[in-house]
Chain A
Amino acid sequence: MMIRRIFVTFLIIMLTISSGCWDRRELDDLGIVNGIGIESAPGGKIRIIAQTLNTTAIVRGTGGGGAGTTFQKAYRNTVAEGNSLQDAIDNLTKVTPIERFFSHNNVVIVSEELARKRGIRDITDFLERNPELRLDPWLIIGRGSLVSLMDQPGRITLIPTQRINSYMKINKISASFAPLNVGQFIRLMQSPCCQPYTAVIETGPNESLSAEPGHDLASGVVPEPVNQIMVNGTAVFKEDKMVGWLNAAESRGLLWVRGEVKQGNINFPIPGEEEKSAETSILKSWSKIEPSIKDGQVSITVHIKVNTYLIEIQGNIDPEMTAALKRLEASQEAAISREIEATLKKAQGEYNADIFGFGEAIHRSYPAEWKQLEAQWDEVFPGLQVQIKVESSIRHTSLIEKPAEPAEE
Chain B
Amino acid sequence: MIFRGMKRLKNISEKDGKINNGNISELLNNEILTPEQVKDVRVSSALEENLCFLQDLLGHNKDVIIRRILLGTSPHIASALIYIEGLVDKAILNNNIMKSLMIEIHEESCGSDPRHLREYLLKTALTVSNLKNTHQMNEIAISILSGDVVLMVEGVDDAVIINIRGHKEKAISEPESEVLVRGPREGFTETLETNISLVRRKLKSPNLSFDDMLIGKITLTEVSVVYLKGLASPDLVEEVKQRLQRIEIDGILESGYLEEFIEDNPYSPFPQMHHTERPDRIVAGLLEGRVAIMTDGTPFVLMVPAEITSFLTSPEDYYERYYLGTLILWVRYISFGISLVLPSFYIAITTFHQEMIPTRLLISIASYRQGLPFSTLLEALLMELTFEVLREAGTRLPRAVGQAVSIVGALVIGQAAVQAGIVSPLMVIIVAFTGIASFTNPSYNLGITMRFLRFPLMFLAGMLGLFGVMFGIVMIHIHVAQIRSFGLPYLSSLSPLHWSDLKDVLVRGPWWSMDTRPRELGERNRRRQVPGLKPSPPRADKVGGN
* Interface check B6, CB cutoff 8 A: no
A80-116 vs B, Cβ < 8 Å mask (1 yes, 0 no): 0000000000000000000001011010000000000
Question: Residue B465 at the A interface, CB < 8 A?
Answer: yes
Chain A residue numbers with a CB within 8 Å of B354 are: 25, 27, 30, 101, 103-104
Q: 8 Å CB contacts to A: which residues of B347-387?
A: 350-352, 354-355, 359, 362-372, 375-376
Kindly state whether residue B480 has any CB partner on chain A within 8 Å.
no
Q: Which of A99-142 contact B (CB under 8 A)?
A: 101, 103-104, 106, 132, 134
A26 contacts B367, CB within 8 Å? no
* Docked complex: B442-483 residues within 8 A CB-CB of A: 462-465, 467-468, 471
Q: Which residues of B contact A20 (CB under 8 A)?
A: 463-465, 467-468
Q: A20: nearest residue on chain B (CB-CB)?
A: B464
A248 to B228, CA, bound (A): 82
Q: A32-B363, A55-B366, A56-B367 are contacts. A26–B376 as well, Cβ < 8 Å?
A: yes
Give the distance in Å from the alpha carbon of A243 to the alpha carbon of B195 in the complex.
Answer: 90
Q: Are B468 and A32 in contact (CB under 8 A)?
A: no
In the bound complex, CA of A17 to CA of B467 (Å): 11
A56-B370, A132-B355 given as contacts; is B467 within 8 A of A27 (CB)?
Answer: no
Q: Which residues of B contact A53 (CB under 8 A)?
A: 363
Pick the residue among A26, A59, A132 that contacts B364 (CB under 8 A). A59
Do B352 and A16 touch across chains, with their CB atoms under 8 A apart? no
How does the 8 Å CB contact mask read for B254-266 relative to A, with 1 for contact and 0 for none? 0000000000000
**A225 to B70 Cα, complex, angstroms:** 116
Give complex CA distance A30, B372 in Å. 14
B370 CB contacts on chain A under 8 angstroms: 28, 55-56
Q: Looking at A16, A26, A32, A53, which has the most chain B CB atoms within 10 Å of its CB?
A: A26
Q: How far is the CB of B495 from chain A (nearest CB, A)?
A: 24
Q: Do the beta carbons of B365 and A27 come within 8 Å of each other? A: yes
Residues of A within 8 A of B372 (CB): 28
Q: Are A59 and B363 also in contact (CB < 8 A) when A28-B370, A132-B355 are?
A: yes
Given A55-B370, A58-B367, A25-B359 contact (CB < 8 Å): no
Inside 8 A of B371's CB, which chain A residues have their CB?
28
Min C-beta distance of B274 to chain A, whole Å: 33
By a CB distance below 8 angstroms, the chain A residues around B467 are 16, 20-21
B464 touches A28 (CB 8 A): no
Residues of chain B within 8 A (CB-CB) of A101 are: 354
Residues of B within 8 A of A21 (CB): 352, 464-465, 467
A60 within 8 A of partner (CB): yes
A15's nearest neighbour on chain B, judged by CB, is B471
- For B349, give the chain A residue with the smallest CB separation: A27
Give 5 A-B pairs besides A16-B463, A23-B352 with Cβ atoms closer than 8 angstroms: A16-B471, A20-B465, A24-B352, A26-B350, A59-B368
Closest 9 pairs between A and B when the two form their complex, measured CB to CB: A103-B355, A55-B367, A59-B367, A20-B464, A28-B369, A55-B366, A27-B366, A104-B359, A27-B369
Residues of A whose CB lies within 8 Å of any CB of B are 16-17, 20-21, 23-28, 30, 32, 34, 53, 55-56, 58-60, 101, 103-104, 106, 132, 134
Query: Can you report 27 residue pairs joining A to B where beta carbons are below 8 Å apart?
Result: A16-B463, A16-B464, A16-B471, A17-B463, A20-B468, A21-B465, A24-B352, A24-B463, A24-B465, A25-B351, A26-B369, A26-B376, A27-B351, A27-B354, A27-B365, A27-B366, A27-B369, A28-B369, A28-B371, A32-B359, A32-B362, A32-B366, A53-B363, A55-B364, A55-B370, A59-B368, A104-B355
